Structure 1
Amino acid sequence: MSKKTTVIGFMVALSLLTACSTGKPSATVPSDSGGTATAAPLKDVTLKIGLPGGYDITSQKIITNFQAKYPNIKLEIEETPWADFVTKIVTRIAGNNPPDLWLQENAVVLGYGKRGVAENLEPYIKRDLKTDDYVSALTSAKLDGKTYGIPHGINPGALAYNKQIFKDNNIPFPTDDWTYNDMIETAKKLTKDTNGDGKPDIYGFQAGNNITLGWLPWMRAYGGSALDSTLSKSNFTDPKSIQGLTAWADTINKLKISPTREAATTGKFFENGKVAMTFFQYATQVSLNKNKPDLDWDTVKMPIGMDGKRFVPMVVNQWIVYSKSKPEVKEAAWTFLKYYLSDEGQSLLSESGTSLPVKKTALAELEKSTTKPVNKKAYTKGIEEAGGTLDENASWNEWRAAAGPILNDIMDGKRTPEDGAKEIQQKVQGVLDENK
């Protein structure tokens, strides 16, 4: 053996020994193209995490437990009220100074992906995760074959009902096979003027005024949608979409089974036992159980639509990794996300009650919980059967803002659904065309 070969062999052995002696895993960082790029061993690194909404949104136990497991990753946590964070993050991105990891709405994340702000996590997912262990929402932040976020959690809708109101009227509780027509007809029976003043004191249903629990589920129930399947064309003037908008507004203006939008803003009707049924997001149960622990209520799946199909609206906030962070910092961010998606992390997410986990084993455990709503399968099985996001694309916030005031007018009875839909169609398509 030559002296040169001996020296090279010694240096290789020494380098391997040095790497092993650190006790820290070697990081192989995926490239954006889907290949891999070998990086230095995961050394001591600082990871800046932005938490809009603070620990009311993200479980502090998850942060604390992760830090204990990975002491070489120093966390700098930025707690900010949600509205303030959303305002300031735009400026920070422009100044190339956002956190390395933060969470926002799914549609915003898609926009960040399109602009190159969010890291493509598809190679990381392929490298480290068994996707069959998770529900399909794991990759809901997908655009053009790339995944730009990991779910912070799923916040789906279900039909909540006040059990006492049903008992008082000798009407059977709702079931998972209910249709929208079943819900409407029962709401008529449960709407009561108890003091004879000509105005309902108990409403059978409360219509929502936002995209998640308001107009979009009704449009979907009639076979319509806000956008077409390509998410590039407005679909508000589709006759089926108009039918849905009409049925939604009729709950207030024609059938009188729902309180008005103005009254519902401050009335807390369901919380105060004045509404028999309403569409209800999972996260709302935290405050409801805290403020009204004696309220007797439960949930069933979202009703089946007039087209025979069920639609379960899902809000999926996403964790984003900043694409311009250093490779070792991005690997640290992914290490956090892997922990977040682990059995322990997902169990802690379930415990917080702020949203549903995306890991199937954690969802199965959650179904055994006896806290209200007892029938958590209304959510867990609902998303499995018919969970859908909210016609989200990169310009989601912009086209919703354009449609919002007109939709409020439709709900308030100031415009007909037909006339309102025509104006919305034009405004939304204008936004979509500008953002091609």
Structure 2
Amino acid sequence: MRREKEFRYLKLANILREQILSGYIKPGEFLLSENELCKFYGLSRTSVRKSLDELLKEGLIVKKPGQGTMVSPDLEITEKQRRILRILAPSPSFFVDNGLPVIIERFLQEHPHVDVKVLSLPSFYFWESLRTSREMGLDPDLVFVSDRQFAEMDNLDSFADLEPLLANRIPAMYPKVIQAFRRQKEIKAAPVTFSTVYLAYNPELFRRYGVPEPASAWTQSEFVNAAKKMTRDTNGDGIIDLYGISLSSSFSRWPVFALQKGISPTNPAEHPERLVETFDFLHDLLYRDRVATIHQTETHHPNSDAFVRGKTAMVLTTTLEMAGWRSEQMDFEPQVAPLPFGDNQATLLLANMLIVPTACKSADLAKEFISTALRSDVQEKMSRTAHFLSVLKHVNEQVWDRPFLESINITNRQVENSYFLHELFPDAGVMEELETEMKLFWAGLESAASFAQTLQRMIRVKSKS
């Protein structure tokens, strides 16, 4: 973990360097402030300053006391004669760091005359950044997005229909994954990896405290009992420093509890008693049984640091996040357990995908890149080396063992019972408002019944409007 932290500043230095050399931030323009860089890229001030020091040594930036950090006004950027494929991607992203390089490597082997440039921009205001880049004449050839960012797109007509490109590959893909990005007769995005949200656990902690590891059919009661046994004050200072589970306030995690309890994905307000039961259970974990710690986030990205550091025994996660953990040099190998929160074996889905702007100047290269990403051998390499799920069913069946695939709910027709967030909340604005409204609930200052009423009311208002 320490080694990973030592090199995080180099990742930011690479991101900022590419923004400068691509012309996204021009000579004489200021970079984001240190505070903003810390916030948008999830780094400490120390790491941000080390990143800036690297660019300062290279002569790319200058510091203006009392004003900020500026791209060197004297910097001259020369255009290369080779063809360039420009990919715009959000940061942070586990897939951009660990999966995208696999695709790029294969693409460059077959297109040695092309340079691939990845311009990473903060996911916090990703679409605003994309609009800015276009206004500056920097039109990307490909845009890499998550399913949530796809749902926030305000102009689908500005992206190409990929149906003709994907037609021959669709039979090998999970229908649920590809159909979620179909709009009328067009497919607007090409998923390159996906994941369900599932439960991971630390087997070392289970063994240390004599707790049986999760069985294939374990119950909610068994889950709670296990969490209780592993919630401890390990150093005797009167403060609990080990919890049974780490929860996140992110919408990409907690709705799993609701889906498991049978709440209708097409009408979350249809069963008010199940909503109350869901929120009561979350309050049980946090404030009555006190077996959970909560990470409240102002971004779309859950934070699993407590689990990675061995401070919680269980966490809801994805293969996307677990792939990123592998670079953290953890002290244990996380294992996967079936979700035990209800009788309905449903969960959330997440995906990463590529979309092609209709205004891109290298549509041929963009589509070649997507074709490369969806080749069986490339998908298999991403699964075996970077540990991402493939969007091709036969690849997952070759790479992963069946118990794992069953635990994460993608065998047989399990995946058909799971949902992307934009299927649950077609209006992304509802999620934004609910995340704000939930702050008192997560703090234990609003009851489960009260917040269930708030959620129902907001959904009714939005549906009428």
- Shared fold per TM-score greater than 0.5: yes
Q: Following the alignment from structure 1 to structure 2, what is the Cα–Cα distance between the partners of residues 177 and 266?
A: 28
Inter-partner Cα distance in structure 2 for 1:236 and 1:302:
23
Q: Structure 2 matches for 1:185-204, cutoff 5 A? A: 185-194=225-234, 199-204=239-244
Determine the structure 1 residue equivalent to 2:455.
424
1-structure distance, mates of 2:111, 2:313: 48
User: Are 1:165 and 1:276, in contact at CA under 8 Å, matched by a contact in 2?
Assistant: yes
Relative distance call for 1:108 and 1:283 in structure 2 (3 A) is closer
Cα distance in structure 2, aligned partners of 1:354 and 1:98: 31
C-alpha distance after superposition, 1:155-213 (max 9, x if no partner): 33221112122212322210232233331232223323445555433322222221222
Return closer, same or farther for 1:427/1:332 CA change in 2, 3 Å cut-off.
same
Is residue 158 of structure 2 the alignment partner of residue 117 of structure 1? yes
State the partner residue of 1:168: 208
- Counterpart position of 2:23: none
Residue 343 (str. 1) matches residue 398 (str. 2): no
1:345 Cα deviation from its structure 2 partner: 1.9
Q: Answer whether contact 1:283 1:353 (CA < 8 A) is retained.
A: no
Contact preservation (8 Å) 1:51, 1:103: yes
**Contact kept in structure 1, 2:250 and 2:296, CA below 8 Å:** no
- TM-aligned CA deviation for residue 46 of structure 1: 5.6
Which residue of structure 1 lines up, in the alignment, with residue 257 of structure 2? 218
Does 2:114 match 1:66?
A: no
> Residues 205 and 313 of structure 2 are in contact (CA less than 8 Å); yes or no, is this contact kept in structure 1?
yes
Match of 2:422 in 1: 392
CA distance in 2, matches of 1:64, 1:177: 42
Give the counterpart letter for 1:59 in structure 2: L
Q: Does 1:317 align with 2:346?
A: no
Aligned equivalents of 1:60 and 1:208: distance in 2? 29
Tell me the equivalent position of 1:411.
442
Please give the secondary structure, in 2, of the residue aligned with 1:224: coil
Structure 1 runs (4+) greater than 6 angstroms displaced = none
Listed as ranges, the matches of 1:36-75 within 5 Å are 47-53=85-91, 55-56=96-97, 58-71=99-112, 74-75=114-115
Partners of 1:135 and 1:366 lie apart in 2 by 20
Partner of 2:18: none
* Residue 407 (structure 2) aligned to one of 374, 378, 381: 378
Identity of aligned residues (%): 17
8 A contact 1:45–1:332 mirrored in 2: no
Match of 2:393 among 355, 360, 373: 360
User: Structure 1 residues 366 and 275, CA, compared in 2 at 3 Å: closer, same or farther?
Assistant: same
Aligned residues: 374
From 101, 119, 126, give the equivalent of 1:79. 119
SS of corresponding position for 2:293: coil
| TM-aligned CA deviation for residue 321 of structure 1 | 1.3
Distance 2:391 2:243 in 1: 35
Q: Deviations over 1:306-365 (max 9, x none)?
A: 2x2212322112211113446xx4344222212111012212322453631111232133
- The residue aligned with 1:278 is 315
Cα distance in 2 for partners of 1:75, 1:261 equals: 40
Contact between 2:269 and 2:455, CA under 8 Å: does it hold in 1?
A: no
Please state how far the C-alpha of 1:52 moved relative to its aligned partner.
Answer: 2.9
How much has 1:58 moved relative to structure 2?
4.1
What is the distance in 2 between the residues matched to 1:293 and 1:194? Answer: 20
Residue aligned with 1:392, SS: helix
TM value normalised by structure 1? 0.74
The match for 1:129 is: 169
Instruction: Report the CA distance shift for 1:235/1:147 in structure 2 as closer, same or farther (over 3 A).
Output: farther
Q: Distance in 1 between matches of 2:384 and 2:304?
A: 29
Cα drift, residue 301 of structure 1:
2.8
Aligned partner of residue 355 in structure 2, secondary structure: strand
How far apart are residue 91 of structure 1 and its match?
3.5
| SS at structure 1 position matched to 2:388 | coil
- Is residue 110–residue 142 contact of structure 1 (8 Å, CA) maintained in 2? no
Matches of 2:192 and 2:134, distance apart in 1: 21
User: Rg bigger for which structure?
Assistant: 1
The two structures, once aligned, show a CA RMSD in angstroms of: 3.4
Give the conservation status (yes or no) of the 8 Å contact 1:407–1:420: yes
Equivalent position amino acid for 1:346 in 2? Q
Q: Does 1:138 align with 2:178?
A: yes
Match of 2:78 in 1: none
Cα displacement (A) at 1:397:
3.3
Report deviation, 1:385.
Answer: 1.9
Kindly provide the CA deviation profile for residues 6-39 of structure 1, in whole angstroms up to 9, marking residues without a partner as x: xxxxxxxxxxxxxxxxxxxxxxxxxxxxxxxxxx
